[in-house]
């Protein structure tokens, strides 16, 4: 079983569909929903596997990942953007590999409409979109430096754990990360990138 960790600000129209699909998946034991914009919270979330958490303000994505891991019940973790819709068959495929490092998306997944066979390979550098859908064993998690708020959390994990990419997964479209590309977050992202360059 997997704990799925999803930070959200409710900006994506895919979030509710994502929750429904994951709630129906037999491999998902719980969905840890970290609400970073509680003023937009829907009046009722009825999905049985959703565990709702908020600190009443935007704690940003990387601290949300750390918090979600702390809260998780299961050793198998999936960390997903709220706007990435993916084939849930990947849970069964990826589970045996999780002891080896951290797994993210091949860039080709966002453009190719070819679903399966899934392929995993080790990589020396991460591509675009790698951190939008991650799989890792909880025992391998190394908490991201809390000073990194939005950007470079995936760089942190990749550098600490060794990275693999998954291809053959049709993600539907390349309209992802619609929250982090908003202008209000540009300065924080630049600050994160500057800080990461000093590690």
Q: Which domains does the chain have, with CATH numbers?
A: 2-196 (3.90.550.10)
Closest CA to 17 of 109, 85, 80, 115: 85
Percent of the chain predicted with pLDDT > 90: 71
Distance of alpha carbon 173 from the chain centroid: 16
Any idea what the Cα angle at residue 48 is, between residues 3 and 12, rounded to 5°? 70
The residue ranking higher by pLDDT, 42 or 94, is: 94
pLDDT in tens, 150-170: 999 999 999 999 999 999 988
In this predicted structure, what is the pLDDT of residue 176?
Answer: 60
Average pLDDT of the chain is 91
Tens of pLDDT, residue by residue over 8-18, are 999 888 888 89
Instruction: Tell whether pTM > 0.95.
Output: no
77 compared with 178, residue with greater pLDDT: 77
Q: 109, 87 in Cβ contact below 8 A? A: no
pLDDT of 198: 93
pLDDT tier at 103 (50, 70, 90 boundaries)? Answer: very high
Question: Does 125 have pLDDT greater than 80?
Answer: yes
* DSSP helix/strand/coil, 102: strand
């Amino acid at each position: 079983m997997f704990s799925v960790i999803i930070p959200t600000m409710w900006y994506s129209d895919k979030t509710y569909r994502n929750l429904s699909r994951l709630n129906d998946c037999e491999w998902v034991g719980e969905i840890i929903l970290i609400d970073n914009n509680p003023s937009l919270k829907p009046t009722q979330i009825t999905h049985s596997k959703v565990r709702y958490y908020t600190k009443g303000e935007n704690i940003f994505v990387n601290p949300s990942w750390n918090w979600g891991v702390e809260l998780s019940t299961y050793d198998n973790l999936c960390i997903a953007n709220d706007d990435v819709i993916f084939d849930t068959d990947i849970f069964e495929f990826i589970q045996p590999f999780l002891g080896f490092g951290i797994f993210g998306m091949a860039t080709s997944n966002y453009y190719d409409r070819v679903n399966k066979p899934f392929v995993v390979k080790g990589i020396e550098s991460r591509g675009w979109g790698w951190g939008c859908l991650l799989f890792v064993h909880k025992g391998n998690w190394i908490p991201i430096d809390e000073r990194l708020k939005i950007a470079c959390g995936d760089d942190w994990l990749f550098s600490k754990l060794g990275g693999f990419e998954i291809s053959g997964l049709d993600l539907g479209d390349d309209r992802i990360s619609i929250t982090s590309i908003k202008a209000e977050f540009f300065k924080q992202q630049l600050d994160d990138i500057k800080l990461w360059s000093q590690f």
